[in-house]
Amino acid sequence: SPVIGVLALQGDVREHLTALAVADAVARPVRRPEELAEVDGLVLPGGESTTISKLANLFGMADPLRERIAAGMPVYGTCAGMIMLAEKILDPRSGQETFGGIDMIVRRNAFGRQNESFEAAVEVAGVEGAAVEGVFIRAPWVESVGARVEVLAEHGGHIVAVRQGNALATSFHPELTGDHRVHALFTEMVRTAG
Ligand code: GLN
């Protein structure tokens, strides 16, 4: 089974570790560059992207992460993790940096105050069977994508799941639902990336 890390600086790390284990990966938390070097793929969890960005700098993880993502390590970001994979963020708080990896512009907290948290059925390309239960918590959406980015899902006319090569991102949180098909899709991406 592939070894998949979960970036464990802040956010819903435990939920991702559980979902990955169910999806047949060997899952471990990753906090240090030495731990990053040992995984075949990495999940960037949901949480608070400004905090993840600051802690990544503090722990000396930002550059190693950028380098491995740029070198093609499979990576999956949910919500705050999606924000961290964007080449550009709209309305970033001052100094917020991302790791990049997907040629997209992401708008933070995009779904707005009246809808800060909600659930919706989302059809995700590449996930067989019934729609995925999308849990959106102060979720971003993808404002625009470059030519190499594949749009996997939309909600309310906005892009909420994308893939570019070995990088996958969703605005929503499959790790909170008990439905691990998106984690299974990512595990398969890691397996076939060899
Ligand atoms: N709004 C958060 C951010 O900007 C993301 C929320 C989440 O991950 N559930 O980082």
Ligand 1 pocket mutation pick from 9, 78, 89, 109 by most atoms within 8 angstroms of CB: 109
- Its CATH class, for the domain covering 3-193, is alpha beta
Instruction: Kindly report the pTM of this predicted structure.
Output: 0.96
ipTM score: 0.94
Sequence ranges of the domains in the chain: 3-193
Distance from residue 1's CA to the centre of ligand 1 (Å): 30
Encode the chain in three state secondary structure: CCEEEEECCCCCHHHHHHHHHHCCCEEEEECCHHHHCCCCEEEECCCCHHHHHHHHHHCCCHHHHHHHHHCCCCEEEECHHHHHHEEEEECCCCCCCCCCCEEEEEECCCCCHHHCEEEEEECCCCCCCCCEEEEEECCCEEEEECCCCEEEEEECCEEEEEEECCEEEECCCHHHCCCCHHHHHHHHHHHHHC
Residues 129-181: tens digit of each pLDDT: 999 999 999 999 999 999 999 999 999 999 999 999 999 999 999 999 999 99
Distance from residue 11's CA to the centre of ligand 1 (Å): 9
Looking at ligand 1, which atom is closest to the CA of residue 46? 8
**pLDDT value at residue 166:** 98
